[in-house]
């Protein structure tokens, strides 16, 4: 399928790179670009892939995966734009950046796919949503899907939903880790060693996630199964409701979607 170039191998770029290698893609078919030379050396030493300049990578690769921060996207596109050929596929993983924005910074008619991945891709349990730009052909969208499928599930959404996807599954792992931190803190408050609290919460999260995925039951049903009448869970949930935790989650995710839209200016 030709060379894949990852432009910007930070947290998400390295996550994708490592996933493609785990999935069996040869290191010779992968190149990275990085702004800081020491970061490029770190990754070439660790993964055996080549680090090139942005222009060299754009000239060599068939598939160009853009994983710089949204604020750095315009400058990157200015640099590589003249080297993006008709046959290339440009795949952007940046929050907020629209396919319109990318297409407008490239020569006319270039194929673009917008993707929102998440960090569980690091353990091959990622969730990615893809949306095709106006010139992207079905086989090119399929190619983008197959790249992401190396690290987890992939779904297709209309691009107008990508800000919501970003707020839900893109940022989502952070909300879960935040809840986990709070639960561990509660265990410590109750006198538990931190390591015990961490083990209890981690396995509880894993078990609950597995129940959601494997039983297909609605979360309300699963929550009610835990909530014995007059018991401990009901006492806890009443406090969460008193503190409007459910409403806070809705507002938080709305704020993330608003921020994603704001980033679309580049």
Ligand X SMILES: O=C(O)[C@@H]1CCC=N1
What are the b/e assignments for 245-260, b being 16+ CB within 10 Å?
Answer: eeeeeeeebeebbebb
- Fill in the per-residue mask, 42 to 61: x = in contact with ligand NDP (CB under 6 A), - = not in contact: ------------x-------
Q: Cβ closer to ligand X: 88 or 166?
A: 166
| Residue span binding ligand X (CB under 6 A) among the ranges 30-38, 163-171, 189-197, 241-249 | 163-171
Residue 156, helix vs strand vs coil:
strand
What contacts 65, CB < 8 A, 6 or more positions away?
4, 5, 6, 7, 13, 16, 91, 92, 93, 147
Minimum CB separation of residue 40 from ligand NDP in Å reads 9
Minimum CB separation of residue 260 from ligand NDP in Å reads 8
Among 6, 43, 93, 144, which residue interacts with ligand NDP (rule: CB under 6 A)?
A: 93
Give residue for tokens 């993964």. 47
Instruction: Please state, in angstroms and rounded to a whole number, the distance separating the CA atoms of residues 166 and 162.
Output: 6
| 33 binds, options ligand X, ligand NDP, none, Cβ within 5 to 8 A by partner type | ligand NDP
Q: Cβ closer to ligand X: 19 or 170?
A: 170
112 membership: H or E segment, kind and range: strand 111-116
Determine, following the binding rule CB under 6 A, whether residue 98 of this chain makes contact with ligand X.
no
Q: Find the DSSP H helices in the chain.
A: 11-22, 37-47, 54-60, 70-80, 99-104, 138-149, 162-165, 172-189, 194-215, 219-226, 232-242, 245-262
Determine, following the binding rule CB under 6 A, whether residue 170 of this chain makes contact with ligand X.
yes
Q: How far apart are the first and last CA of the chain?
A: 30
Identify any residues that bridge with 31 across adjacent strands, giving them in sequence order: 5, 50
Minimum CB separation of residue 12 from ligand X in Å reads 8
Are the C-beta atoms of residues 130 and 156 closer than 8 Å to each other? yes
Q: Cβ closer to ligand NDP: 119 or 140?
A: 119
Minimum CB separation of residue 70 from ligand X in Å reads 7
| Residue span binding ligand NDP (CB under 6 A) among the ranges 69-77, 176-184, 203-211, 242-250 | 69-77
Among 111, 118, 140, 151, which residue interacts with ligand NDP (rule: CB under 6 A)?
A: 118
Site residues (CB under 6 A) for ligand NDP, limited to 95-114 = 95
- Backbone phi and psi for residue 105, each to the nearest 5 degrees, phi listed first: -100, 5
Are the C-beta atoms of residues 150 and 19 closer than 8 Å to each other? yes
Q: Cβ closer to ligand NDP: 34 or 197?
A: 34
| 121 binds, options ligand NDP, ligand X, none, Cβ within 5 to 8 A by partner type | none
Among 8, 9, 171, 266, which residue interacts with ligand X (rule: CB under 6 A)?
A: 171
Q: Contact positions toward ligand X, by CB under 6 A?
A: 95, 166, 170-171
Q: Contact positions toward ligand NDP, by CB under 6 A?
A: 7-8, 10-13, 33-36, 39, 54, 67-70, 72, 75-76, 93-95, 116-119, 170
């Amino acid at each position: 399928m030709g060379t894949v170039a990852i432009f910007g191998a930070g947290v998400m770029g390295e996550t994708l790179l490592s996933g493609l290698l785990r999935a069996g893609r040869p290191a010779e078919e992968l190149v990275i670009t990085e702004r800081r030379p020491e970061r490029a050396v770190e990754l070439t030493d660790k993964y055996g892939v080549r680090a090139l300049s942005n222009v060299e990578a754009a000239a060599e690769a068939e598939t160009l995966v853009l994983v710089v921060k949204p604020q750095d996207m315009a400058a990157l596109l200015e640099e590589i734009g003249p080297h993006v050929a008709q046959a290339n596929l440009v795949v952007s993983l940046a929050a907020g950046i629209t396919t319109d924005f990318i297409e407008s910074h490239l020569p006319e008619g270039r194929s673009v796919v917008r993707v929102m991945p998440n960090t569980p891709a690091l353990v091959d349990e990622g969730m990615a949503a893809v949306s095709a730009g106006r010139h992207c052909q079905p086989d090119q969208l399929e190619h983008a899907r197959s790249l992401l499928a190396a690290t987890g599930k992939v779904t297709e959404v209309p691009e107008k939903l990508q800000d919501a996807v970003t707020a839900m599954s893109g940022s989502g792992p952070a909300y879960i880790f935040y809840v986990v931190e709070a639960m561990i803190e509660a265990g410590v408050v109750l006198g538990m060693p931190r390591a015990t609290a961490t083990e209890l919460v981690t396995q509880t999260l894993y078990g609950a996630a597995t129940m959601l995925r494997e039983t297909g039951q609605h979360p309300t049903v699963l929550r009610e199964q835990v909530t014995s009448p007059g018991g401990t869970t009901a006492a806890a949930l009443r406090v969460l409701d008193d503190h409007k935790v459910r409403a806070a989650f809705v507002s938080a995710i709305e704020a993330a979607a608003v921020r994603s839209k704001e980033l679309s200016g580049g």
